Structure 1
């Protein structure tokens, strides 16, 4: 057998051939050497041909001599056709893509169909080794959505979740997986790296200390590796993706933001640059992250220099799409109307600049600001002044709980748009999602010919394997699986046949419970719980100020959730019963931990609500202090079990993440401090091993100490106010301001000052420790229900 690819300038065809040879060797044990097409089609021997007749001369010869009729593809598209023919005693397999990128799709899909390999973000799963049959194949694929993509965002933390922590090998693995799952668009939102330095010939910050600009930013952005190395890495990542045909939107417009701050040296070079004044959002008022006056030609030209520099330095010189956030997360002026008019003008100005140089390249208008800061009728008005032939609304809030944005905006069946799932913010790194609701909304979107895509646009990566697979499958064919079939499909692909049935039972129970958590549900400050306030006990009023509206909501929510919490014990028994082989499989162990920590997160959230209901009942003389102590001990048991659970693999550890960073490139001496500050800041607190054990647990101790003192002195007032530092206020990235207590500051100070090397796992990975953590949760739940839940 011989393997041929087009002798073609488009590198994707050679990449497809190399992938075919790699997987052929992995599954069959046979070596195939990719060969460029030259001369006449070989007259003997089995052949594998990469590319349709428009690209591969050998394929063209088969069409010309009528061995092949035609391919069921549109040329230049993401469609592909896998076709085998027999000529006498030989077999010929043609993997005919409408483009180089779709030829890569065809290769991976062939091995999925005939080699029984499945592709997940955390590695391939081979269900078979042996001969691969290339005969009797005639299978064409066509995606429903034109754009299918992923965002990689700028926060920092544990390696698994935060792309700024990834080295080149990590990115190559990720981009290969993107192609395996037939995505075609990805966007790096991990900051600009050294774009300002390249665009304006600015000096690089020092490599042996914190960036001096950190003191002027809401959160320090000192590069953990040197900024030069980060810029080089961006070059390499973008080239790797571009060679495989992936689309990367070029950012444009008012690009100033917390993750894209302008260095002070930029303002020294442009001292007269006017700023857009009268901003009402103080966390963006600092000059480095403030917007330059978009009404000024100087500001517009300087922003465009950044876009041009990215196209030149990182984008290969040929932009295929643009992207703008407008004036995201900002408020200006004295009235809503003044704010709206400035935001509309900014988008008009951005459009004009793009069209001046690229009249026909599509522009994505990001939906975050539209969903969070605009009125629905304002978005409708915006769409009426946009050109639908070259503008697309990127509605990545379409999965917001309790609200269908695309119906609110009236973009549905009226204006080009992309259905997007935000899915989670940086502080939500656990599984979640109401798939019945998601399937319903997606089916509605798929019925609209103006809906051009389906994307996953979260603030972190790899947090939810099930959700990622949902998007990968549904972005290609939204009709393929109903909500009730998702688990069966997932388990049949991810697990060995002897454990697939057991996992099926686990996932069906798990998805039903995590369906109670959907981002964006509820209204601040009473019912919105995305922030996971049990991770912020000393800075949030949610579990200290027992106002009647809050208690009423907690009582109602606990009643809704308790019936599902009662099923967690059985779910954990099923996982504990999995054999040693499941624990020894890295992917299965990851799934055990992910399922468990999601259920534990919901349990902690609910138990704190129930504790507050009991506190309120104690105030009214309807609850004994002893019952409050039992409720407290149940919470403590689960929080401690969560700390033990997160030590069961390396995914959640800052210490191990830092060690991985050191392997790739030397670190800035302050890298560890910056990483801990970023991962433990108010906005980014999630399930991170060292943060849970060394911050959340001590803060929980302080919280209960305060509450128990209140109970001991028979103080039945409804409020607890933590002692605050008069010179400091905390914030959750500006969305709300919360008091920072001295207790919190002391605990956080110890965490920052203690080296990660002195934070080893207390209960390292072992099946015994995992089962014990599951058992502790089950025991705590029994105590909770023996008390009567939140009654």
Structure 2
């Protein structure tokens, strides 16, 4: 067999041909020859032609001789067709894409169809090895949404979840996976690497010392790998993606932010650069992250120099899309109207600067600031002044529970927009999602011709295998799978045939549980409940300041959740039974751990809520101390089991993540401390092994001791928020500031001072330990529910 592509077209066609040969060999054991077409003569034997008649001269000959009539694709689009034909007694397969990128889609889809090969972020799954058939195939695919893809964000922590921890090979694997899922857009939002150095000729920070700007910043940004190396890798990553046809939006406008701070050397070079005055958000008032005065031409031109440098050095010289956050997460002036007018003016100036250089390139206006800091009628008014032929409103809060942003803004069927899912923040690295709600909203969006895309815009990556598959399937064909069919399709593609039934039952019940954790619901309007306050027991007030309103919510929430939690015992038992057949398979073991993590997180949330209700009821003699003690004991055991669970896979360890960094390139000497600070800061606290074991558990111990003091003294005065240090400063970046106790500081300091070498696993990974942990979670779930109803 020969695989033939055109050597005169874009490189994506050669990549498609080489990919076909690679996977053919993986499945059949033999590697076909790959050749560039040299003339118009078809060689003898079976042939795979890569490219439509517009891209491959041999395909053109088949059309010219009417062996092929016409393809059912739109040329220049993401359509593709897989077509088998017979000519002179030999079999020919044509992979005809509307462009190079979609031709690669077609190659991957062929092996899914004929090779029973499935593609997941954590690796390909081969359900077949042996001969492959290229005959009797005629399949045309067309995407519903124009833009499909995802964002990679700037926080740091365990390797699995944070792209700033990935090396070049891992980025290339990720981009290949994105192609396999038929995405066409992605954005690296992991900071700007060495963009300032390239744009303004600034010195690089020292490689053996902390960046001298770090003490000034709200979040330390010392590079774990040398900044120059990171810049070189960024070049390579974006070049790799560009060769495969990906759209990567170019950031522009007021780019100053916590993850894109300006080095102090920039201000030394531009000493009189005016800053935008009237900043009311203290965490962005510091000069390195503050916005330059957009009202001056000088500031506009300096911001533009960052954009044009990125286009030239990283973007291949020709932008396909721009992106701006505006004045995100900031408040200005003395009135709401002053703030609004400045934000409108900033977007107008950004548009003007783009159009001066690129009159027709589309601009994405990010929706985070619009959803959190604008009034809905102001967003509607904004759309009225934007050019719909060149501007797209990127509503990546369209999945927010408790509100429907695209309806509030009246962008629906009125202005070009993209349906975006934030899905999770940096502190939510467990699975979640109300798929009934998401499916209903996406169905509505897909009926709107002005909805141009479906994108996932989370603050971390790979946290939720199920949502990634939902994104891929629904982005291409939103009408294809109903809510009930999502689980069946997922299990049919991910698991061996003899295990699918068992997995289907596990996932069906698990997705019912996941719907109870959708960002933006619960206490979000008041306190952002996605912050997972059981990870912040000594700095948040949610589980110590027991207000009547909070107790009413906790009681209602407990009643809503307890039935689904009661069913999870059966799921845990079912997964334990699968362990002998699944433990050695990394992907199935990961799924068992991820489902258990999600259940444990919701259980701990719910147990703490119920415990607070019991504490408050004790004050009025409606609950006894023995019942409260039982509740506390079960919570302690459950939290300890979470730490044990996170030992069962390398995904959650900072120490192991650091070792991976070292294998790729020499790291900064302060990498261990920097990782600890990043992962344990208030905003980024999630299910990370060392943080759970060495911060959450000690803080839980202090939390219970402090609350129990009132019980021991029989003090029935109201439970209030813990005292605050006299110099205490809230450590949650952004929109929340929470009280911090002295106990928290002592525990945090001990965590930073204790080396990873002294934070080793307590139980360690093994099939026996995982089985014991699943049994322990089941026992604790049942025990808590057996305490009885809330008083």
TM-score normalised by L of structure 2: 0.99
Partner of 1:370: 370
Give the whole-Å Cα distance in 2 for the aligned partners of 1:480 and 1:231: 41
Partner of 2:559: 559
Is contact 2:579-2:771 (8 Å) kept? no
Give the whole-Å Cα distance in 2 for the aligned partners of 1:22 and 1:452: 34
Give the whole-Å Cα distance in 2 for the aligned partners of 1:404 and 1:278: 31
Is contact 1:526-1:549 (8 Å) kept? no
Q: SS at 2:352's partner residue?
A: helix
Is contact 1:149-1:184 (8 Å) kept? yes
Q: SS at 1:442's partner residue?
A: helix
Give the whole-Å Cα distance in 1 for the aligned partners of 2:731 and 2:660: 30
Any idea what the Cα deviations from partners look like across 1:617-638, whole Å, max 9, x if unmatched? Answer: 1011111111111000110111
Any residues of structure 2 matched to 1:117-128 within 5 Å, and which? 117-128=117-128
2:566 matches 1:605 = no
1:723 shift after superposition: 4.1
Any idea what the Cα deviations from partners look like across 1:500-545, whole Å, max 9, x if unmatched? Answer: 1100000001000111010011345757410000000000000000
2:173 matches 1:177 = no
Give the whole-Å Cα distance in 2 for the aligned partners of 1:249 and 1:390: 14
Partner of 1:192: 192
Q: SS at 2:733's partner residue?
A: coil
Partner of 2:306: 306
Is contact 1:673-1:752 (8 Å) kept? yes
Partner of 1:429: 429
Q: SS at 2:647's partner residue?
A: helix
Partner of 2:327: 327
Any residues of structure 2 matched to 1:199-210 within 5 Å, and which? 199-210=199-210
1:582 shift after superposition: 0.7
Give the whole-Å Cα distance in 1 for the aligned partners of 2:657 and 2:503: 29
1:708 shift after superposition: 1.3
2:730 matches 1:718 = no
2:97 matches 1:79 = no
Is contact 2:681-2:731 (8 Å) kept? no
Partner of 1:155: 155
Partner of 2:294: 294
Partner of 1:35: 35
Is contact 1:82-1:94 (8 Å) kept? yes
Q: SS at 1:76's partner residue?
A: coil
Is contact 2:541-2:722 (8 Å) kept? no
Is contact 1:398-1:420 (8 Å) kept? yes
Q: Please tell me the root mean square deviation across aligned C-alpha atoms, in Å.
A: 0.9
Any idea what the Cα deviations from partners look like across 1:486-506, whole Å, max 9, x if unmatched? Answer: 000000000000101100000
Partner of 2:221: 221
1:782 shift after superposition: 2.1
1:291 shift after superposition: 0.4
2:371 matches 1:389 = no
Any idea what the Cα deviations from partners look like across 1:213-246, whole Å, max 9, x if unmatched? Answer: 0011001010000000110110110000001000
Any idea what the Cα deviations from partners look like across 1:451-482, whole Å, max 9, x if unmatched? Answer: 00000000000000000100011000000000
Partner of 1:731: 731
Partner of 2:681: 681
2:587 matches 1:571 = no
Is contact 1:600-1:642 (8 Å) kept? yes
1:43 shift after superposition: 4.8
Q: SS at 2:35's partner residue?
A: strand
2:240 matches 1:246 = no
1:306 shift after superposition: 0.1
Number of matched residues? 791
2:492 matches 1:492 = yes
Give the whole-Å Cα distance in 2 for the aligned partners of 1:88 and 1:712: 92
Any idea what the Cα deviations from partners look like across 1:631-670, whole Å, max 9, x if unmatched? Answer: 0011011101100111111000000000000011111111
Q: SS at 1:578's partner residue?
A: helix
Partner of 1:651: 651
Give the whole-Å Cα distance in 2 for the aligned partners of 1:730 and 1:498: 52
Partner of 1:532: 532
Which is further off, 246-255 or 88-97? 88-97
Give the whole-Å Cα distance in 1 for the aligned partners of 2:646 and 2:731: 27
Q: SS at 1:530's partner residue?
A: helix
Any idea what the Cα deviations from partners look like across 1:160-199, whole Å, max 9, x if unmatched? Answer: 0000000011101000000000000000000000000000
Q: SS at 2:669's partner residue?
A: coil
1:9 shift after superposition: 4.2
Q: Can you give the 5+ residue segments of structure 1 that lack an aligned partner in the other structure?
A: none
Give the whole-Å Cα distance in 1 for the aligned partners of 2:721 and 2:415: 49
Any idea what the Cα deviations from partners look like across 1:315-340, whole Å, max 9, x if unmatched? Answer: 00010000000000000001111100
Is contact 1:526-1:542 (8 Å) kept? no
Q: Can you give the 5+ residue segments of structure 2 that lack an aligned partner in the other structure?
A: none
Is contact 2:425-2:458 (8 Å) kept? yes
Give the whole-Å Cα distance in 1 for the aligned partners of 2:25 and 2:646: 36
2:626 matches 1:592 = no
Give the whole-Å Cα distance in 2 for the aligned partners of 1:790 and 1:191: 47
Partner of 1:787: 787
Which is further off, 572-581 or 454-463? 572-581
Give the whole-Å Cα distance in 2 for the aligned partners of 1:672 and 1:685: 16
TM-score normalised by L of structure 1: 0.99
2:515 matches 1:512 = no
